[in-house]
Amino acid sequence: MCGRFVAKNNRELIQEYFSLTQPIAPPFLSPDFNVAPSRSAYIITGGDGPNVEVMRWGLVPSWAKDATIGNRLINARLETVAEKPSFRASFKKRRCLVAADGFYEWQEQPEGPKQPFYLHPAEQPLLAMAGIFELPHEPSADGAFTDDEPLTFCILTTEASANIANIHHRMPVVVPNKNWQAWLDPNVQDADEVIALVPAPPTGFITAHPVSRDVNNVRNNSSELLTEVSLS
């Protein structure tokens, strides 16, 4: 799974990298070096052209009775996303790109606690992680949903590339630049056609290094979390 990622939220870089049709508008997000579920992120959507929306991490399907389900729906497996009731409608019509600098995964150790690693693109400035999103819920009479509910999203995952599979067996799905437009197009709805847009990235596309276990605590949030540590 992907349970944490890094979003430095460099608006100029995001604007240029994704060729956005409109400038990123407030509310502006601060750099987040330890994005955890329920936090907000910049999400690229289609429509009139690539645009940015601020969304909360944790998908809340249209049929949900309250927003707490989003705490469990932070990832969707690429292999089954088109079939699962929680995800299939969003996968068909509401795909998005999650603008990230990298992500964290935890490696099992022979003894002791897991070792966190920071994984990021070896050459490209940003990751375009594949996501799906849901529209805000209407206010409900029981108060479970209010009149200011956010857009919500989750990140798709797939089998890890060979060079990082020793860290964790899953990784976020990465959408190649050439396929962004089709991925964001709600008129592209055939599941096989959509899945073909996200082939496994080449080995070496993602690189990794060990980082401090300080990242385990979501309250820790600084660029120092990205610093490589020695495992000796």
Residues designated catalytic: 2, 105
Amino acid (1-letter code) at residue 159? E
Structure tokens at 88: 């299939």
Cis peptide before 139 (omega within 30 of 0): no
User: Do residues 60 and 40 touch, judged by C-beta distance below 8 A?
Assistant: no
Nearest to 64 by CA among 52, 56, 51, 73: 73
Residue indicated by tokens 């594949």: 130
Give the Cα separation of 141 and 210 in Å (integer): 48
Strands 51-57 and 152-159: parallel
Residue of 104, 134, 128, 130 lying closest to 117 (CA atoms): 104
The answer to whether 191 and 87 are in contact (CB under 8 A) is: no
Instruction: Give the Cα separation of 111 and 208 in Å (integer).
Output: 21
Q: How many residues does the chain have?
A: 232
